[in-house]
Amino acid sequence: MAPLTQYLLLAASLPLTIADGQYRSRPDLAPPKLNITIPAPDANGTEYVFIAPYSNSIQQGGAYIYRKDGDLVWSGIGYYAGFVANFHLTTYHGETVLQGFQGTIDESHGEGFGQHVILNQNYEHVVSAKTGNHRIPSIHEFNVIDGKTALVEIYLPTVANLSAYGGNASLKWIGDGLFQEFAIETGELIFEWNSLDHVNPADSMVPLNSSTSESGLTSTSTWDYIHLNSIDKDQEGNYLLSSRHFSTIFKINGTDGSIIWQLGGHHSTFTYNFTFGFQHHARWHCQSPTSEIISFFDNSADGSITINNISRALIIQLDHTTSTATILRQAPAPYSIQADSQGNAQLLPNGHIFVNWGSAGAVSEFDAHNQVIYHALIENAVSYRGFLGNWTGTPYERPAIMAYLDRESTVRLYVSWNGDTETRGWRFYYWTGGSGNGNGTRFLGVVERRGFETELVWRDGRGVTGVTGVTGGRFYAEAVGVGGRVLATTRSVRTSEYIWVD
């Protein structure tokens, strides 16, 4: 793409220093880029990547949808605010919707305070979920159950006597871990579980005062002894809970909150011949009276302790007859990736596994034989979780159009529609404001939509004067869907708004 200064810029009110210049029609957008190292076989299909990149090295962190080839589908800038995480598809009241956390992050603990917001397929606000008991949810989990209720985890700085764990009068702050289930629409509390009522902080893999951030001296340096990061629920009303700092997955009784079983840590109910630790994103897949099958993302490290040299996705069978746990399937990270924090593993309906490598800033898709068929790096950023999913986006906002005139007297039109998945091509027009049978409208051409932004280069035989010399002339474009149906029309752009940019 030629430097912006070579074009005659439409709309003089726009600043000349604009984002990073990725898109002419939307110069306000600067999405992080995906570096594809293993191309997907269906890179231009309808299965999209949902991530929420963040770092101090990118201009616009937030919620994003990409095609597998790295092309942008939707930027969530202006839709979600603050720190954004755990962005993915879910089902609410029978409709497929988007959900994401927005708020703040405590980078020393990897905890946060905020709310979970649902958007519909038009990217319009549906609901901002409110928890019960005045709790503020953290960033890790928002698991919608039966399209009505949600599971969230909560980080609660609490004053406690820590002498039993090596504390003194100065070390008194503990980061209590709670989770809730509540009705999304009303906020009615259904269940709340408090870790301090059921586990011993002495079993934490991260001891009190093991680092400055875990000192327990202040409410901002609480001892994050348990660090809950995922919750699931089964048909019997029990809960599956992952604790990073216990390196343990718990099954919690949905009636009294007691621990039914635990996998990993110091008090595992099951014996097993493999190792894992500091895991994320535990999910149920199959249950019977004698066995259960779960999946989770095995970090196997936390930055100071290394359990296995690479991270992986695991599918585990728990046998209640023999009290053993067995690996049914594993998907080890390509390129020997080690994710010291964050991450998730999504088991797809076709038997594939999509893995977000957390702090390693990458995503992979594995086929049913655990072979990597897709891998992408998130340039200069990481994402707490990442997902694949089929999505139909029909934005409520109008498509954007910009026009430029280069020094070769060629008109270049650029059009895009943030979040749209249905447009197949763009029809471009020039309108002089005339009347009569032709109504002063001239058809310039149609271009197949191949990416976020579509360009039409128009070299008129009469030269630029024959086009732009008409007072009040405008350019506009139509988004065309399947069967030639017009989905939306851009605003029209006056040629009198042109200015030279040197």
Using CA atoms of 91, 362, 330, 269 in order, give the dihedral in degrees to the nearest 10: -70
Cα–Cα–Cα angle for 324, 330, 263, nearest 5°? 35
User: Do residues 387 and 354 lie in contact, with contact meaning Cβ atoms separated by under 8 Å?
Assistant: yes
- Mean pLDDT of the 53-60 span: 96
**Residues 6 or more apart from 483 whose CB is under 8 A from it?**
none
pLDDT for residue 495 is more than 80: no
In the structure encoding, which two tokens stand for residue 2, read together?
């030629």
pLDDT in tens, 255-308: 999 999 999 999 999 999 999 999 999 999 999 999 999 999 999 999 999 999
Coil, strand, or helix at residue 2? coil
Q: pLDDT tens digits for 381-421?
A: 999 999 999 999 999 999 999 988 776 667 889 999 999 99
What is the Cα Rg of the chain in Å?
26
Give yes or no for residue 336 having a pLDDT over 70: yes
CATH number of 400-500: 2.60.40.10
Residues 6+ apart with CB under 8 A from 139: 83, 85, 86, 101, 103, 105, 110, 111, 112, 114, 384
3-state secondary structure of 288: coil
In this predicted structure, what is the pLDDT of residue 106? 93
Pairing mode, if any, of strands 72-75 and 64-66? antiparallel
Inform me whether the pLDDT recorded for 204 exceeds 70: yes
Residue 458 has what pLDDT?
A: 85
Nearest one of 110, 66, 68, 108 to 85, comparing CA atoms: 110
What is the structure's pLDDT at 3?
29
* Alpha-carbon gap, residue 267 to 88, rounded angstroms: 33
pLDDT digits 0-9 by tens, 348-373: 999 999 999 999 999 999 999 999 99
Residues 418/91, Cβ–Cβ less than 8 Å: no
Q: Is the pLDDT of residue 8 over 80?
A: no
Report the pLDDT value the prediction gives residue 307, as an integer from 0 to 100. Answer: 97
Asked if pLDDT for residue 175 goes beyond 60, the answer is: yes
Q: Where are the domains of the chain?
A: 84-269, 400-500
pLDDT of 19 reads: 47
Only one residue has tokens 């810029």, namely: 9
